[in-house]
Amino acid sequence: MERERWCIHVQGIVQGVGFRPFVYALALRRRLSGFVLNNSQGVVIEVEGSTEVLQDFQHALQADLPPLAHIDTLQISHIANKQESSFVIVESERQAERNTLISPDSAICQDCLQELFDPQDRRFHYPFINCTNCGPRFTIIQDIPYDRANTTMAHFQMCPDCQQEYRDPLDRRFHAQPDACALCGPQIRFSTATAADSQDSIEQAAAQLARGAVLALKGLGGYHLACNALDERAVQRLRQRKRREAKPFALMVETLEVARQFCSISDDEAILLQSYRRPIVLLQQHSGLQVASDVAPGHNTLALMLPYTPLHYVLFEQCRRIFSTSQPVILVMTSGNLSDEPIAYRDEDARERLGPISDGILYHNREIFIRCDDSIVRHTTAGPQILRRARGYVPEPLTLPWPVPTPILACGAQLKNTFCMAKDQQAFVSHHIGDLENLETLRSFKEGIAHFQRLFDITPQVVVHDLHPDYLSTRYATELNLPAIGVQHHHAHIASVIIEHGLTEPVIGIAADGSGYGPDGAIWGGEILMADLCHFQRCFHLAYMPLPGGEQAIKQPWRMAAAYLCAAYGSDFEHIPLPFIQQLDHSTWKTLAQMIERKLHCPATSSLGRLCDAVAALIGLRSHVQYEGQAAIELEQLATTCPASSHPYAFDLLAQTGQIDVLPMIRTIVDDLLKHVPPAQIARRFHFTVAHLLTSTCVEVSKRSGVQKVALSGGIFQNRLILEELVQSLASQNFIVYLNHKVPTNDGGISLGQLAVAAAQLNEG
């Protein structure tokens, strides 16, 4: 029989996911000799044996991968035989270029979960149990290669038992870098204002929760604030202390069965909830069990996740034991921060910031190296959407349809910021960074960029930024002393869809959101573009309206309603007997009218988000918002209480100027209100109108261009009603519709779009 030796180079997520023991076991079973090693390029395997066995080995290598592993490339070369007698795992070697991928953090696996609750197991109830198939990764890695010395586990000395598992290639914990046990690993602590660190920490924490306490809880990528979600007063207390007036809280329950007691869950949603990524999934609430009304005031959806760390599971077990109620345990698990700050992830910071607003802190001495929020996803009839991409997804790269010409850094937007770095054919979109106006967030933006450069060995040669001169990401980009490329906000939105789907010909892009800087100095946000990656052309947009007082008009939807009314009726509108108008403070309105008339701090805007705000205020729903998008969200919630509408309000498409005039709709809405048409009905009809209007515009553009592909992106498409009705109506006009599935449709996807545009422009030369 012919004896051969193959050298196999594997790249992808192949480190820290049990790949080498998997290879070792495959080789052992087939009696092949050789070795496997990790280097900074990935994994190198040399195997020797008969041709058939080698072929079978290669097949198994690709077919039976460990759960967290992922192969991107596999190269085989034939080399001279060496005739060793065994197969071994060789220690890691360092190399100049780093090309290996890091796995996202993973929820506890079934094997570990079983051991966790097995009284005979030596890790019974040990809240840091993990193995090569699960546990922390991205959040504890300081550098590559992924070895314990390069993680925040470095200072824990393994006990002999753990060491043995760690060294045994056939053990599930072979080279599991965060491996530990109660004897040698991280320890849990619970501290309250009155009592210092105690022994039976988790039990005490559960007892506190039972009493209605608000606790700070250290998780994988940061701290949570937790309380009993069935306890009205506990939830109110949390709201008060966190200074979060209205924005919904996320929930955690132990099992899918519990979740089903108060949410409707489809198969797709169940899969998302249970996946090792364990994101927060937005679910429809049903009329069963009711959580405290303050969890998600005014919402008929709930944000829910299942436990993902062993600590969560042990805590739930204790809660189940201690809560003296027949109801299931449902915990609020909201990010550990005050209002809009970034979540706390360092212990000292948590003590300082969360100490005063919590009744106790459940923490431990395994450091979190990089902050990483919970991811948020949802299912729509148009497919899955990721609304916040972080834990469980990052730092998985997106494979580009072609290689970038040079390493590029795209700095993203101002709010919901992510950055994106690319080299060769891989784009690394960062975890959700947040709102850059906050100093702490700006710091994590800069630290995140440095960290990604190190982890993926990328030295950007070109930097990309939004056109808004005042975005702190723009300021950062232009101060880097690198060649800089500016990309228009809505072009970036559409480009993020184009690149996700690898589209090559121009598409009609509907970019709809709250605000983005237009090259004409106006604030865009209701745009119908013709775009490919390199270029875009603005075909239609909502007719410009003044945004009286700039940001103030975004925080105060009544200003937009007044601006629309003023445009529709002139200042005469004051005499219309509508509650909204009669409630306007006369002197404030007067000043606003003067500002509009004199164009004093009234930037022009074509924002669809602002139109939603205006309608929400006009029908008396909300005149001031407490969080971003609140008026539009509540308008959608109200609309869903009403059966579907099929009569759009009137509007005009002015082909000459490319303007979409919605003043006819505003006038009809006013008439409807005067006729006492219920606001919910108006809200519903408004949503249908938006979908209809965007579709009509696409038809118009398509008539001229023949283009039948439509890409949708922008924060507006977080509005499920608009999204689903639009996708449906576009499909009925034979359009092929593309959406973001891998990056957020909100500004969290901007960085990928920026990167795609810049790379395409550089490629074009």
User: Which residues bind to Fe ion, rule: CB under 5 A?
Assistant: 513, 516, 747
Q: What are 733's two structure tokens?
A: 């006009």
For the four alpha carbons of 726, 727, 729 and 735, in that order, the dihedral sign comes to positive
Partner interacting with residue 184 (select from other proteins, Fe ion, Zn ion, none; CB below 5-8 Å by kind): Zn ion
Cis check: omega of the bond before 307, within 30 degrees of 0: no
How far apart are CB 399 and other proteins at their closest, in Å? Answer: 29
Q: Is the CB of 94 or the CB of 243 nearer to other proteins? A: 243
Torsion angle of C-alpha atoms 620, 625, 631, 637, degrees rounded to 10:
-100
Partner interacting with residue 109 (select from Zn ion, other proteins, Fe ion, none; CB below 5-8 Å by kind): Zn ion
How far apart are CB 716 and Fe ion at their closest, in Å? Answer: 9
Q: Is the CB of 29 or the CB of 601 nearer to other proteins? A: 601
Q: Is the CB of 314 or the CB of 632 nearer to other proteins? A: 632
Q: Is the CB of 46 or the CB of 747 nearer to Fe ion? A: 747
Residue with tokens 């390029």: 41
Q: Does 553 bind other proteins (CB under 8 A)?
A: yes
For residues 366 and 364, give the distance between their C-alpha atoms in angstroms, rounded to a whole number.
6
Q: Does 517 bind other proteins (CB under 8 A)?
A: yes
Q: Does 94 bind other proteins (CB under 8 A)?
A: no
Q: Does 609 bind other proteins (CB under 8 A)?
A: yes
Q: Does 442 bind other proteins (CB under 8 A)?
A: yes
How far apart are CB 552 and other proteins at their closest, in Å? Answer: 3
Q: Which residues contact 514 (CB under 8 A, 6 or more apart)?
A: 525, 554, 607, 609, 610, 628, 629, 715, 716
Beta strands in 82-144 (DSSP E): 87-90
Q: Considering only CA atoms, which of 523, 682, 676 is closest in space to residue 614?
A: 682
How far apart are CB 178 and other proteins at their closest, in Å? Answer: 31
Q: Considering only CA atoms, which of 322, 303, 313 is closest in space to residue 388?
A: 303
How far apart are CB 172 and Zn ion at their closest, in Å? Answer: 7
Q: Considering only CA atoms, which of 311, 337, 104 is closest in space to residue 222?
A: 337
Q: Does 321 bind other proteins (CB under 8 A)?
A: no
Q: Which residue is nearest to Fe ion (CB)?
A: 513
Q: Does 411 bind other proteins (CB under 8 A)?
A: no
Helix 489-501 × helix 750-764 angle, to 10° = 80
Partner interacting with residue 219 (select from Zn ion, other proteins, Fe ion, none; CB below 5-8 Å by kind): none
Q: Which residues contact 40 (CB under 8 A, 6 or more apart)?
A: 94, 95, 96, 97, 98, 99, 100, 144, 145, 457
Which residue among 46, 105, 513, 527 contacts other proteins (CB under 8 A)?
513
Q: Considering only CA atoms, which of 92, 80, 78, 5 is closest in space to residue 43?
A: 92
How far apart are CB 492 and Fe ion at their closest, in Å? Answer: 8
Q: Which residues contact 356 (CB under 8 A, 6 or more apart)?
A: none
For residues 175 and 185, give the distance between their C-alpha atoms in angstroms, rounded to a whole number.
15
Using alpha carbons only, how large is the chain's radius of gyration in Å? 28
- What is the footprint of other proteins within residues 585-604 (CB under 8 A)? 587-588, 590-592, 594-595, 598, 600-601, 603
Q: Is the CB of 101 or the CB of 162 nearer to Zn ion? A: 162
For residues 146 and 421, give the distance between their C-alpha atoms in angstroms, rounded to a whole number.
20
Q: Is the CB of 110 or the CB of 339 nearer to Zn ion? A: 110
Which residue among 521, 577, 643, 706 contacts other proteins (CB under 8 A)?
521
How far apart are CB 192 and other proteins at their closest, in Å? Answer: 21
Task: Give residue 114's Cα distance to chain centre.
Answer: 30
Q: Is the CB of 307 or the CB of 679 nearer to Zn ion? A: 307
Q: Does 439 bind other proteins (CB under 8 A)?
A: yes
User: Would you give the binding string for other proteins spanning residues 686-715, x where CB under 8 A is met?
Assistant: -----------------------------x
Residue with tokens 């709809």: 512
Q: What are 245's two structure tokens?
A: 């007036």
- What is the footprint of other proteins within residues 227-246 (CB under 8 A)? 243
Residue 313 DSSP one-character state: H
Task: Give residue 381's Cα distance to chain centre.
Answer: 19
Residues near Zn ion (CB under 5 A): 109, 112, 131, 133-134, 159, 162, 181, 183-184
Residue 179 DSSP one-character state: -
Q: Does 472 bind other proteins (CB under 8 A)?
A: yes
Q: Considering only CA atoms, which of 426, 517, 503, 425 is closest in space to residue 469?
A: 517
Which residue among 56, 121, 168, 340 contacts other proteins (CB under 8 A)?
340
Q: Which stretch binds other proteins (CB under 8 A): 14-22, 28-36, 471-479, 728-736?
A: 471-479
Residues at the contact surface with other proteins, assessed by CB under 8 A: 243, 338-341, 353, 414-416, 436-440, 442-443, 468-472, 475, 513-515, 517, 521, 523, 547-555, 587-588, 590-592, 594-595, 598, 600-601, 603, 609, 628-629, 715, 746-747
